Every structure is written in structure tokens, then in C-alpha cells.
Amino acid sequence: MRMVDVADVTRNIKEMCIEANHFLAEDMDEAMRHALQEEKAPLGKQILCQLQDNLKIAGEDMIPICQDTGMAVIFMEIGQDVHFTGGSLEEAVNEGVRQGYVEGYLRKSVVGDPLIRENTKDNTPAVIHYEMVAGDSVKITVAPKGFGSENMSRVFMLKPADGIEGVKNAILTAVKDAGPNACPPMVVGVGIGGTFEKCALMAKKALTRPVNEHSEIPYVKELEEELLLKINDTGIGPGGLGGTTTALAVNINTYPTHIAGLPVAVNICCHVNRHAVRLL
């Protein structure tokens, strides 16, 4: 058994909230530079150029890449041989978010009740997903999610008869409806299978997979490639102002499902697609 002090969790999450809001992850940085080279439309190129300038200013002057610094979504993959000491893990995670958002000059975008809508003033609570895995390490993924793109995300409860064409249509529908609202070039996270909530969670987690890595399942990899081409054919382009770069990647995760169902979730993310990963 390995002991992990929850104070280490707090410190790391604080740093990761600040890091993810000022610097792109390496995979996203590379994808954005590549997009600028590949974009065909002049206005699209100009927008991608502005986004490069924006990233430079964000990192040099420590101004968040986007003013929507997101609701903190945190994946905790916990080795089953880990024992946490020093207090409540959930409180430690939220304390990390609190410190990161208050000390890091990040926007506080969370309301304590969805209908009463009073701001909690420290961006807590986070949305935390725990997963027990083999081993004795703790993998933390901090993925603050902006709501311009979150609002354009969808769950489709398809029928088995809808098949792969139904899945493609669902993804394209979600992307076209999102259009300029989701701050393209976007990253499209997709979950196929499982249950209603499982496919949504898979779609969210798919957004944290590096955009230069495909699914290990051959037909899913092909589906990712085909959909990326189709999405970039829509003409939506950077900022929704026209162009050949509408998405940087389509990341699809799958899971077994019920004989009667074909759930599909499409979680759309903007071109910042914040994610920071650390292993404790």
C-alpha cells in the first residue's frame, strides 16, 4: 500500500488549473500550428493567426487564453493500492480548484444552484470523476470546460437499426448545429455505447485524449478520420467565418451496450481544449 497525502493533490490541482488556462497542452499546440499552415480561406487563416498571437500573449503576460476559464472537470484515476492520508480527498480536490482560481486570476464561473444562480466566488465545486485502476499511482487530469461549446453538446439515444450511418449523422448534426457558437476549430469528443450517462462520460474523457492519437480499434480509427474530413467539408471554418479547418480532431471512445440501444454522446470543445495531466 502507498500513502498519498491529500495536500499533494491540492497543490497539483491548483497548479494544473493555472497551467491549463494559460498554456495549451503539447498536442493542441501542435494541432493549432498545423491548422494555420493548412487553412485555405484567407479570413480563416487570419483568425488562426490571431489565435496564435492570443496564445503567445496568454503565456507571456499570464492572461488566460480565454476569459471563460471553465468549470473544473477533474478525472481522478486512483490505483487500488493507494491510501489517501491527511483529510478528505474530495475537499482536497476542491481546495486545489479554489486556490488555483483565486490565486491564478481565473474567472469564477460557477453558480451554487442551477436555478437560484448565486456565484460561489471561488469556482467550486469541481465536477469530479473517480475511477479505480490497478497499481499504486494517482493520475490526475484537469480539464476546465468552457460553456460556449459545452452548451452545444448532445446525447442521442439511437436505435440499433440506425447503425453506423446513424452515428455519423448524429455527430455531423451536433457539429453543424454548434457552428460558430462552439469557437471552432473545435475538438469533437464522442462516446458510443454503454448507457445514457456512460456515453456522455466517455465523450468527455475522449476530449482529454491527445488529438494526435487515434483509437486502437481499427474501424473506430477509420470513423474518426472519415468524420474529421466530413466536418472540415462543412465550410464552418475558424470562428465559424468560413474555411477548411472546422475541427482539429474527432476522438471516439466505445463501450459494450444493451441489445436494444445505441447511445451516442457528442461533447464539443473549443480550440483551447484545456487539459493538464500529472501522475502522483
Partner 1 sequence: MERHIQAPINKEEAAVLRAGDYVYISGTIYTARDAAHKRMYETLAQGGELPLEMENNVIYYMGPSPAREGRPIGSAGPTTASRMDKYAPDLLDLGLIGMIGKGKRSQAVKEAIVRNGAVYFAAVGGAGALLSKSITKSEVIAYDDLGTEAIRKLEVKDFPVIVVIDSEGTDLYETVMSK
Q: Which residues bind to partner 1, rule: CB under 8 A?
A: 43, 46-47, 50-51, 53-55, 57-58, 61-69, 105-109, 117, 119, 121, 146, 148, 151, 176, 179-181, 183, 234-237, 239-242, 270-272
Collapsing DSSP states into helix, strand and coil, what is residue 180? helix
Pick the closer one to partner 1 by CB: 102 or 228: 102
Closest distance between partner 1 and the C-beta of residue 78, in Å? 31
Backbone angles phi, psi at 166, to 5 degrees: -60, -40
Pick the closer one to partner 1 by CB: 53 or 165: 53
Taking alpha carbons only, the member of 69, 86, 80 closest to residue 142 is 69
HSE-CB for 48 with a 13 A CA cutoff: 29
For residue 132, with 0-12 CB atoms within 10 Å meaning exposed, 13-18 middle and 19 or more buried, which class applies? exposed
Pick the closer one to partner 1 by CB: 67 or 212: 67
Pick the closer one to partner 1 by CB: 149 or 254: 149
Pick the closer one to partner 1 by CB: 121 or 159: 121
Cβ contacts of 3 within 8 Å, gap of 6 or more = 82, 83, 84, 85
Pick the closer one to partner 1 by CB: 124 or 253: 124
Name the one residue in this structure whose C-alpha cell is 480499434. 217
HSE-CB for 73 with a 13 A CA cutoff: 17
Closest distance between partner 1 and the C-beta of residue 114, in Å? 13
Name the one residue in this structure whose C-alpha cell is 498536442. 27
Contact 171, 266 (CB under 8 A): yes
Pick the closer one to partner 1 by CB: 227 or 269: 269
Cβ contacts of 43 within 8 Å, gap of 6 or more = 237, 238, 241, 242, 243
Pick the closer one to partner 1 by CB: 3 or 57: 57
- β-strand partners of 257: 194
Closest distance between partner 1 and the C-beta of residue 103, in Å? 11
Output the 3-class SS for 5-58. Answer: EHHHHHHHHHHHHHHHHHCCCHHHHHHHHHHHHHCCCHHHHHHHHHHHHHHHHH
Closest distance between partner 1 and the C-beta of residue 67, in Å? 4
Closest distance between partner 1 and the C-beta of residue 203, in Å? 20
**CB atoms near residue 243 (< 10 Å):** 26
Closest distance between partner 1 and the C-beta of residue 140, in Å? 23
Closest distance between partner 1 and the C-beta of residue 19, in Å? 15
Closest distance between partner 1 and the C-beta of residue 86, in Å? 30
